[in-house]
Structure 1
């Protein structure tokens, strides 16, 4: 009798359930307004929230479930990385306290960490259900890979000189703030165009609006605003970090590559010669036949393959028994454009610089390929920093300095 009454009550409850329980997800007004998007509403919502602290440990290694992608396939022999596994038996100091590397992992929101010394892996660790096959979002580490692609195009004569005006290769930029700006100045983030890299989504400016339209809604290509941006500073005078500069470099690579795509050019010139062990991929800013690779911040790869990039750079452009990129390009692109104030990072050509010798590919919310040729150190850290958390970034800098100075027994 009790089971019968409970069953009847359940049927009655279901019968009068309010229809609002079946309502579709509602997008924030910043996304819902503007041009109609064919991306499913639920996917737009996930993309809108992908950087949030409560989900980014997962989303930063699941980008192929949120976006259309374009593969950068591996091919040929894998560059085998020798090992000398070792405990990280050092400490580092931060804000008056001393910590161990084990404490560092959780304190700085780590998904995966790899340390190399003298070309050998001494430490490799995967957290939060990731593993060696997991492909992690590189965010702006992708800018440093784009720099390599420009270097390849220069070596092949597809680009005649870094001091050529970029609009001589991309005539659609004539009349914009990029007219007359050299390729070198764009590489150095000194284009002078009026594009503030500010992601205040409550009050979206040009960069936040571009993120919404290109990446969340796929209603326009990420590089499109470059065609109409105005000039704010004289080219070459002011360093101003902005992803649109790297998007323009991607358009340049695409244009001079002989009918190729960024992904296929990268596969041919970098990923295969590097001896990568897994395919990488770019997220796209639109569907097949329309979208382009988000080359400013959208490449994904495994922890070890990011380490291979770092080791290649440390070895002067040599990887897997061959010279992949010239040592001259490695030196030029990783040299600071001007001396940085004491204790601050400098900037080269899409690479950040640390002090006299070290440099890094850095990505949003804690992605690092750190290289110190002087101490023969490469560190790759893939993270899920909370948005705008500079504390984790500062602590990671302290760890990297300690790891670089450390010598395994």
Structure 2
């Protein structure tokens, strides 16, 4: 049409992405990464990370750990805000992509939704922190880490002179490092955490752990609990350093994924291109529903899986014991605690590996909560408690 404005050939990036260092990531991919958490696309993007990012595989090998089945209908209800709901209602009400329930080492329920299936690999988001904790436990029992009370800069001298100097590995595991890094993702007005996300994960112009080198101290180490993904990134750097030249993915392959008997390769998203980027070990691991369940079952069995003692029972107990909280909800060493001995790996927008050793229950829920939706989180807690109390007939 004469006089019509020319069609734009490329989506315009928001100013937060055009400011600062230029990125070599294609504009369309930057745009997708920018909106990947949004409610209208995350049911898809949360199981498409290998399309949006450079990845590093965590290959499976050897015999698959067979998970026996005794399929049951979830014939219980749960109460939330004065109303009673069924598990079928729960699936829709809490934005579920996939759900698996285990009782006494058997799969009793498994459901895939939204065109996903048993081969789909979902991002765990901060469930990855709990996997990092397992690997720290392995490195400790191997003697690669001498003591949790060693200062982190003993192993990473690059951290001397900044907020992490003198902070112990134990304090970092407990999210008590004291460094000045507020886990707030207001992308319209990005602070330290949001800007780090933009630079490392959207634009790939920096490594996610790099701010740890120069970050300032806000609190005395050990005194204040403050959840921050940067702490877990430092633990990943530690694993890289003590593993004898290995990568985080390589160490995880050898010490967790292969002995676990995973049925499909996992993968990390990377914060840069091949040869440059590092695994986003604070929130970037992807796996199938069943393989996440194998991790939960291994923890419930005191660190044992598929005939292998992957990590010690002592580490399982130590890392999942609350050091922060009120007894009902709290935090251990990269694991959230639910009271009564139950604990969970938790990921952004509704990712759960929930373990209740008392009732021998494991629940894995992979979700697509809208950003900031605490209602779905609270309702999921009510469902998990009911699932723990349920005995299949």
Fold similarity call, TM over 0.5: yes
Q: Confirm whether residue 365 of structure 1 aligns to residue 349 of structure 2.
A: yes
Q: Confirm whether residue 395 of structure 1 aligns to residue 379 of structure 2.
A: yes
Q: Confirm whether residue 115 of structure 1 aligns to residue 101 of structure 2.
A: yes
CA shift at 1:19, angstroms? 5.5
Residue among 363, 382, 388 paired with 1:404:
388
Q: Confirm whether residue 132 of structure 1 aligns to residue 118 of structure 2.
A: yes
For the residues of structure 1 that align with 2:230 and 2:24, how far apart are their CA atoms?
24
Residues 342 and 312 of structure 1, relative CA distance in 2, 3 Å threshold: closer
Q: Confirm whether residue 86 of structure 1 aligns to residue 68 of structure 2.
A: no
Q: TM-score with structure 2 length normalisation?
A: 0.99
Deviation digits for residues 170-219 of structure 1 (CA, Å, limit 9, x no counterpart): 00000010000000000000000000000011110000000000000000
Secondary structure of the structure 2 residue equivalent to 1:22: coil
Aligned residue number for residue 98 of structure 1: 84
Q: Confirm whether residue 75 of structure 1 aligns to residue 69 of structure 2.
A: no
Secondary structure of the structure 2 residue equivalent to 1:122: strand
Aligned residue number for residue 192 of structure 2: 206
Q: Structure 1 unaligned segments of length 5 or more: list them.
A: 1-12
CA shift at 1:23, angstroms? 3.2
CA shift at 1:18, angstroms? 4.0
Residue among 347, 350, 353 paired with 2:334:
350
CA shift at 1:32, angstroms? 1.1
Aligned residue number for residue 53 of structure 1: 39
Residue among 159, 168, 177 paired with 2:163:
177
Secondary structure of the structure 2 residue equivalent to 1:167: helix
Aligned residue number for residue 3 of structure 1: none
Deviation digits for residues 236-274 of structure 1 (CA, Å, limit 9, x no counterpart): 000000000000000000000000000010000000000
For the residues of structure 1 that align with 2:128 and 2:297, how far apart are their CA atoms?
16
Aligned residue number for residue 280 of structure 2: 294
Aligned residue number for residue 10 of structure 1: none
Residues 17 and 81 of structure 1, relative CA distance in 2, 3 Å threshold: farther
For the residues of structure 2 that align with 1:331 and 1:341, how far apart are their CA atoms?
18
For the residues of structure 2 that align with 1:325 and 1:381, how far apart are their CA atoms?
24
Alignment of 1:312-391 (within 5 A): 312-338=298-324, 340-341=325-326, 343=328, 345-391=329-375
Kept in 1, the 8 Å contact 2:349–2:370? The answer is: yes
Secondary structure of the structure 2 residue equivalent to 1:404: helix
Deviation digits for residues 99-123 of structure 1 (CA, Å, limit 9, x no counterpart): 0000000000000000000000000
Secondary structure of the structure 1 residue equivalent to 2:28: helix
Q: Confirm whether residue 219 of structure 1 aligns to residue 188 of structure 2.
A: no
Residue among 153, 167, 182 paired with 1:196:
182
Secondary structure of the structure 2 residue equivalent to 1:70: strand
For the residues of structure 1 that align with 2:5 and 2:158, how far apart are their CA atoms?
51
Secondary structure of the structure 2 residue equivalent to 1:407: coil
CA shift at 1:225, angstroms? 0.5
For the residues of structure 2 that align with 1:399 and 1:21, how far apart are their CA atoms?
49
Q: Structure 2 unaligned segments of length 5 or more: list them.
A: none
CA shift at 1:350, angstroms? 0.2
Aligned residue number for residue 5 of structure 1: none
Secondary structure of the structure 2 residue equivalent to 1:20: coil
Secondary structure of the structure 1 residue equivalent to 2:137: helix
For the residues of structure 1 that align with 2:244 and 2:89, how far apart are their CA atoms?
49
Alignment of 1:18-33 (within 5 A): 18=4, 20-33=6-19
Q: TM-score with structure 1 length normalisation?
A: 0.95
CA shift at 1:341, angstroms? 2.3
Q: Flag as ranges the 4+ runs of structure 1 deviating above 6 A.
A: none
For the residues of structure 2 that align with 1:167 and 1:356, how far apart are their CA atoms?
36
CA shift at 1:22, angstroms? 3.4
